[in-house]
Structure 1
């Protein structure tokens, strides 16, 4: 696609975003319900495209050019996945509209009122790998938050992506939402060109590999919301309940090992090695998890004659395995666990298993991550599970949005000032000057 055509896509997205500033919550609801209906009607057509993608992707897996973990994310027909996708649209529709919310109000003077009001970010560029359902999730979130979005998925799922995005655009034709609010691009060359268009695009959201995110962060002036790694840890404290520890560790690793919120490191307190280590590692091995153990934890196992057991190297604690593998390290106390996580983690999600409330609070206060959990699996780090309806991505940033990013992460705010011929010259500290009132305004019934 030519540069001129790429600019045209971005321009159309900007025009759509400008129009979205005026749509109502009801307009958005009508559009989302129409999308759900059209997707349901075109289910078999979408499945046909998905089968072709899977067939082509299987060839790439066998050739070693596509990872098995990415292939697993491709399937739209598995179980109740498609029904879950449709339910996600309804869930987003039922969420409160994040735009038009007054987050600050102040009476500066009689007849001079200031309001901070949430509004859409504008144009989003979302880049992701595999998972074709992301098109539906993000399109729904964009519409609900009043944003236009340009989507780029992996080439391995291009037919599925095209079928889904075409269905969504057709659903928008007879609504107040411009069809250009949802656009799909196909090639890396198009992304490279779009990353230069900060005049039209307001926020880039990369969802994918470490290399993808770092490439985008290094090749654009547009703000980037995302995370490069998912190096999550579970720390089993000396006061951990054994049954809880087994449940949390195993689920954190095996529920979906290819996900960014799966645990990659297990930290075990030295004082419970004789009671907790063997049951936990046995449960992991039963689930076919390969263990990369440090020398101390390795010495506690009754047998190391297993293809699922190996001694770790230092690089293992900085590795996102994205598979049935986990690094295991012995630590002396919660402070050492915190230090290790803050040194090696990716600020995504980390958990502690303990019955000691003070230790749990110390861990949750000290670990620098978007999510810190007590006696719960790291796999809960997800916009749908948080009640966001879905997520546009997970952010480890410390500005604007952090953790699973739902609707609230897709709005910013503007200040609206209502006056009556007021001028700054009248205010000050000198004789005859007016002073600012700075009185909070009751906004219960206020619409601005």
Structure 2
């Protein structure tokens, strides 16, 4: 059997499973999630051991420090993902919700009802916790899922997928609802299966995401880069501004919602830049600044490439701007459309910033790190989307459902609504 046939068979099984999953009641899905959390906890020593094996191999292969940090999956991480599963159980089922209802005529009623997308293929980075989050979100939303994680997490991903699949099937889920892909060729083969897979969610570098987008006919939901900004306005509270800048950059640097560029209003640059420098360098951040920044503090020079770079590391570029509109123009030129924040005491400025910055997430007086499905109460996230169709921003349960139209009649035929004596539609809103 060829590898390609194997992938097609897995996708075929996932498609069949997705049809059954779409009709599974909320209680059954929550029961399966409970069993999955229990099984993961019971196998924690095996899971941690597998992760230690991945970490050892990654260190031998000189994996970059940010990726090593993402790769680590210890008992604390396992406890976090299990807590996430229990939080997911408490959320309302997104499937089967009536979104709209219209009476077309007496006894002819049309309902717009949420339903699963079907089969979702997700290619994600080296974080094993992402595998748990993605698969359980897909289960709660009634979708089957094909998963491809980073090769550096192969052992961890394998045991996690096996555990989740076995626990789910023991709880009554259809076989094949989750499958793990392990090679680049698997991904290439998956991208050809537009007759079986309904959506691809790629998580990775700009180059990788664009490669996915140009090599498949399957709809793609995702983002290429996380070039996020914090703009400190002249009317910002200095202590708040420093705290938000430090948290946005340093709370966890190896993620797409960490700040990569700091914009500072020229009116306060001389007073706030030294405080920012002290707080950021105390966290080990290397600063790169525009010429005006370097007139006030000592740091490396920033180039045009820095404004368009996602560092995913303790590096931050700083640019002094001529007020709010200059900051907005810079962000709309260089931002990846992910998350951008303003720090100011002026509500009108904040509202202007949030109206004109063309990003999925726009914040006022808070860290960019809040751009996250779990923090939004979405039940973790399958990914972040900078698309402008279907779903945008952190994609949680709501982004994993679509809708169908259900029309309930009593023998009506279209011919009665045409011609000289045609019946009239009432188009009366029922909700």
**TM > 0.5:** yes
Whether the aligned pair in 2 keeps the contact of 1:23 and 1:176 (CA below 8 Å) is no
Count of matched residue positions in the alignment of Structure 1 and Structure 2: 430
Note if 1:237 corresponds to 2:233: yes
Distance in 2 between residues matched to 1:423 and 1:185, nearest whole Å: 48
Which residue pairs with 1:50 in the alignment? 51
Query: What is the distance in 2 between the residues matched to 1:223 and 1:9?
Result: 19
Specify the SS of the correspondent of 1:179: coil
In the TM superposition, residue 434 of structure 1 has moved relative to its aligned partner by 1.6
State the SS of the aligned residue for 1:386: coil
Q: How does 1:96-245 map to 2 (within 5 A)?
A: 96-245=92-241
Name the structure 2 match of 1:22.
23
- CA apart distance, 1:25: 0.3
Are residue 438 (structure 1) and residue 427 (structure 2) matched? yes
CA shift for structure 1 position 139? 1.1
- 191-200 vs 170-179, which moves further: 170-179
Structure 1 residue 351 and structure 2 residue 346: aligned? Answer: no
Offset of 1:4 from its aligned partner?
Answer: 1.2
Task: Tell me which residue corresponds to 2:296.
Answer: 300
Task: Confirm whether residue 75 of structure 1 aligns to residue 72 of structure 2.
Answer: yes
Query: Could you list the per-position Cα deviations for residues 133-165 of structure 1 after superposition, in whole angstroms to 9, with x for gaps in the alignment?
Result: 111111110110000000000110000001111
Distance (Å, rounded) in 2 between the aligned partners of 1:160 and 1:186: 12
The 3-state SS of whatever aligns with 1:385 is: coil
Q: Does 1:370 align with 2:360?
A: yes
Question: Could you give the per-residue CA deviations for residues 94-138 of structure 1, whole angstroms, max 9, x where no partner exists?
Answer: 110000011111000000000000000000000011101111111
The residue aligned with 1:38 is: 39
Distance 1:148 1:242 in 2: 48
User: So what's the TM-score if we normalise by structure 1?
Assistant: 0.94
The CA deviation string for residues 369-427 of structure 1, in whole angstroms up to 9 with x for no partner, is: 00000000000011111111210000000000000000000000000001111122222
Q: Partner of 1:413: helix, strand, or coil?
A: strand
* 1:264 matches 2:253: no
Which digits, 9 at most, give the CA deviation of each residue in 1:258-298, with x for residues without a partner? 10000010000010012211111221111111111000111
- For the 8 Å contact 2:13–2:175, the answer to whether it is kept is no
SS in 1 for 2:128: coil
2:85 matched residue in structure 1 = 89
Contact (CA 8 Å) 2:35, 2:167: kept in 1 or not?
yes
Separation of aligned partners in 2, 1:192 and 1:351: 37
Any gaps of 5 or more consecutive residues in structure 2? none
Query: Partners in 2 of 1:162 and 1:199 — Cα distance?
Result: 26
**1:417 equivalent in alignment to 2:407:** yes
Take 1:398 and 1:109, find their aligned partners in 2: how far apart are those partners? 35
The answer as to 2:264 corresponding to 1:281 is no
Secondary structure of the residue that 1:415 maps to in structure 2? Answer: strand
State the alpha-carbon separation in 2 of the partners of residues 312 and 135 from structure 1.
37
2:324 paired residue number? 334
Structure 1: 5+ residue runs without aligned partners? 443-448
Residues 343-390 of structure 1, C-alpha deviations (whole Å, 9 max, x = no match): 000000000000000000000000000000000000001111111121
1:52-110 superposed Cα distances (whole Å, 9 cap, x missing partner): 0010011112xxxx3211111011116x2211111011111111000001111100000
Q: Secondary structure at the match of 2:262?
A: strand
TM (norm. structure 2) is 0.98
Could you tell me how far apart the structure 2 residues matched to 1:184 and 1:296 are? 51
